[in-house]
Amino acid sequence: MSSSKQIDQLCIELVNEDSLKRRAAAIKLGRIRDEKAIPNLILCIQNDDDYLTRVSALQSLLWIAHPSIIDPIIDLVINDSNDLVRKTAIEALGNMKVNKSLPMLKSLQDNSSTSKNLLEIIKTTIEKLEN
């Protein structure tokens, strides 16, 4: 199967009813590292109801590493309901050296409603970005 056809088929799998198939498709798309998959992976991190599928899609976006993924990752940190997804997104911002995320991270750090599970990674990421 050509790479383009393979990507198209995997993008279709991203909306499969089975979350295991969606996760597998997300990971395979990341391993291919083709920018053509970015829009579908972004839709997956924004809309999938399975948090592990969102984490898998996020990891794949990081493997593709294109500037267009930054704003959707920031949105995940702000809006996702799952701490593992948010933690993964925060780590990604630090690893990608996304300095424009500093004000948002500092705001989360100071917000009393921020989960204690996230505070340590927020602190570490802020330190990484400031140094």
* Complete domains list, the chain, with CATH: 1-65 (1.25.10.10), 68-131 (1.25.10)
Q: How far apart are CA 96 and CA 88, in angstroms?
A: 12
Residue 3: which pLDDT band, with cuts at 50, 70 and 90? confident
pTM: 0.92
- The residue-averaged pLDDT of 97-113 equals 95
Residue 55: what pLDDT? 98
- Residue 2: what pLDDT? 53
Whose CA is closest to 36, among 55, 64, 71, 75? 64
| Mean pLDDT taken over the chain | 95
Residue 101 in this model has a pLDDT that exceeds 80: yes
Read off the pLDDT of each residue in 29-57 and give the average, rounded to a whole number: 97
